[in-house]
């Protein structure tokens, strides 16, 4: 059947040269394009996290509980997971530049709705819509992978991901400082303006890259079925997605609840101070290019285990040092670095599975772990409500330890040249 031919027959990576795509230039994409893709991914995905340090302010604005406020982060991430499942696979059948600009246009409208929301349910709906369309970042990352030659794909993806991850981490600081100087509404409206500019820039700067593999002729329903089938036929995809679901769940536990910690005694920080604290986590983005190089060198398996252990230790430090802002800051940096390492390593494994299906592979991978992030946000809110920061840190530490337990069952295979072990 036509919609099966583009799938690898087993969980093993296919040959390293992608099929059904234009051969990438041996020198890789120009640096200016890599920078543009990194900036675009960073500005886009930042919208998923602006609300995290604003939860205390939103709680007072709308008169809601901390658990209800945490639901805003959950709604945004669930929207993102839905977009990953339903929209990202279209990158294998629709010209990527056109798809990206269309999704960004819808994002702008959703951000305007969020910034003008007069009640919390409207803000939730706007966040759900924007979350779904912000998956444009996950169309641009496989785009960069398509443009890169095999021997430097990890490096190129790592560089683009460093922009995306910087956007995630700086979003909390920018959101906090802007909200402190103006209001939380201005955060959303300012982002709407930035997204408008980015839509125009990408429309003019991105090269046209029409799909030309077997998937290009699939119907939408067949496309979604083939995406689900990828999870069935690629054990490495399932494993890396579950690893990252646990890590992103831990990440969400920390960053969803830390604003409650910092705005309470003994810190009693104001909004701008919470934003400055969030800035320390941005240092974690520096590890993404290194993770890409580790993947190119075939160090996926050992560095994955190191990252799991580091994440658990970060929560231990945060729990024992809960009254020390330096300890909390150090924990944030270590945790963010660990999450970014496993993300970049996981993407390198996933992108090598089938060069003709990178958008769908990315869809299945990212959707799975964003569900983990959404569950982590809500579970973290409940844990904090029930047992305070100690309960939240225990929950956060348990997730990477569960992933490490799964890692010990990972089958070891002989690594072929140019392919990462998964």
Question: What pLDDT, in 10s, does the model give residues 17-56?
Answer: 333 344 445 566 788 888 999 999 999 989 988 887 788 7
**Residue 256: inside a domain, yes or no?**
yes
Percent of the chain with pLDDT over 70: 88
**Residue 328: inside a domain, yes or no?**
yes
**Residue 345: inside a domain, yes or no?**
yes
Phi/psi of residue 420, each to 5°? Answer: -80, 145
Note down the domain range covering 275: 23-223+230-408
* Predicted TM-score (pTM) of this structure: 0.73
**Residue 16: inside a domain, yes or no?**
no
Give the HSE-up count for residue 296: Cα atoms under 13 Å, Cβ half-sphere. 18
How much is the pLDDT for 213?
A: 62
**Residue 414: inside a domain, yes or no?**
no
Tens-digit pLDDT profile for residues 208-260: 877 766 666 788 888 889 888 999 999 999 999 999 999 999 999 998 899 88
Domain of residue 142, CATH code: 1.20.1250.20
**Residue 317: inside a domain, yes or no?**
yes
Among 403, 365, 283, CA closest to 85: 365
How many CB atoms lie under 10 A from the CB of residue 182?
12
| Mean pLDDT (whole number) for 59-77 | 85
N-terminal to C-terminal alpha carbon distance within the chain? 29
Tens-digit pLDDT profile for residues 121-180: 999 999 999 999 999 988 888 788 777 787 777 778 778 877 887 787 778 778 888 888
For the cut 50, the answer to whether the pLDDT of residue 415 exceeds it is: no
**Residue 304: inside a domain, yes or no?**
yes
Tens-digit pLDDT profile for residues 271-294: 778 778 877 766 776 787 788 889
| Mean pLDDT (whole number) for 375-395 | 93
Q: How many domains does the chain have?
A: 1
CB 80 within 8 A of CB 369: no
C-alpha 95/C-alpha 207 separation (Å) is 10
């Amino acid at each position: 059947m036509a919609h099966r031919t583009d799938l690898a027959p087993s969980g093993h990576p296919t040959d390293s040269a992608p099929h059904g795509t234009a051969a990438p230039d041996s020198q890789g994409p120009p640096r200016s394009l890599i920078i543009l893709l990194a900036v675009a991914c960073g500005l886009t995905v930042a919208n998923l996290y602006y609300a995290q340090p604003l939860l205390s302010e939103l709680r007072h604005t709308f008169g809601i509980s901390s658990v209800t406020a945490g639901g805003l982060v959950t709604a945004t991430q669930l929207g993102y997971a839905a977009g990953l499942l339903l929209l990202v696979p279209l990158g294998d059948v629709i010209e990527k530049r056109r798809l990206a600009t269309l999704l960004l246009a819808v994002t702008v409208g959703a951000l305007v709705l969020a910034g003008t929301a007069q009640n919390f349910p409207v803000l939730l709906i706007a966040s759900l819509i924007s979350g779904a369309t912000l998956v444009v970042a996950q169309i641009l990352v496989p785009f960069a992978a398509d443009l890169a030659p095999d021997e430097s794909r990890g490096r190129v993806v790592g560089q683009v991901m460093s922009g995306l991850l910087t956007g995630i981490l700086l979003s909390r600081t920018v959101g906090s400082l802007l909200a402190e100087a103006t209001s939380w509404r201005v955060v959303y409206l300012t982002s709407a303006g930035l997204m408008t500019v980015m839509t125009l820039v990408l429309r003019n700067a991105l090269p046209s890259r029409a799909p030309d593999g077997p998937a290009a002729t699939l119907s939408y329903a067949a496309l979604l079925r083939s995406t689900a089938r990828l999870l069935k036929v690629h054990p490495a995809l399932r494993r890396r997605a579950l690893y990252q679901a646990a890590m992103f769940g831990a990440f969400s536990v920390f960053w969803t609840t830390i604003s409650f910690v910092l705005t309470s005694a003994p810190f009693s920080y104001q909004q701008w101070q919470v934003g400055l604290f969030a800035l320390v986590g941005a240092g974690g983005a520096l590890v993404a290019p290194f993770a890409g190089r580790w993947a190119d060198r075939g160090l996926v398996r050992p560095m994955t285990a190191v990252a799991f252990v580091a994440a658990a230790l970060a929560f231990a430090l945060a729990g024992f040092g809960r009254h020390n802002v330096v300890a909390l800051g150090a924990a944030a940096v270590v945790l963010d670095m660990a999450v970014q390492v496993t993300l970049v390593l996981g993407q390198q494994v996933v992108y090598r599975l089938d060069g003709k299906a990178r958008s769908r592979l990315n869809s299945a991978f990212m959707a799975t772990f964003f569900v983990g992030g959404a569950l982590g946000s809500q579970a973290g809110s409940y844990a904090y409500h029930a047992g305070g920061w100690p309960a939240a840190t225990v929950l956060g530490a348990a997730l990477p330890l569960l992933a490490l337990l799964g890692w010990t069952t990972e089958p070891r295979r002989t690594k072929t040249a140019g392919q990462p072990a998964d």
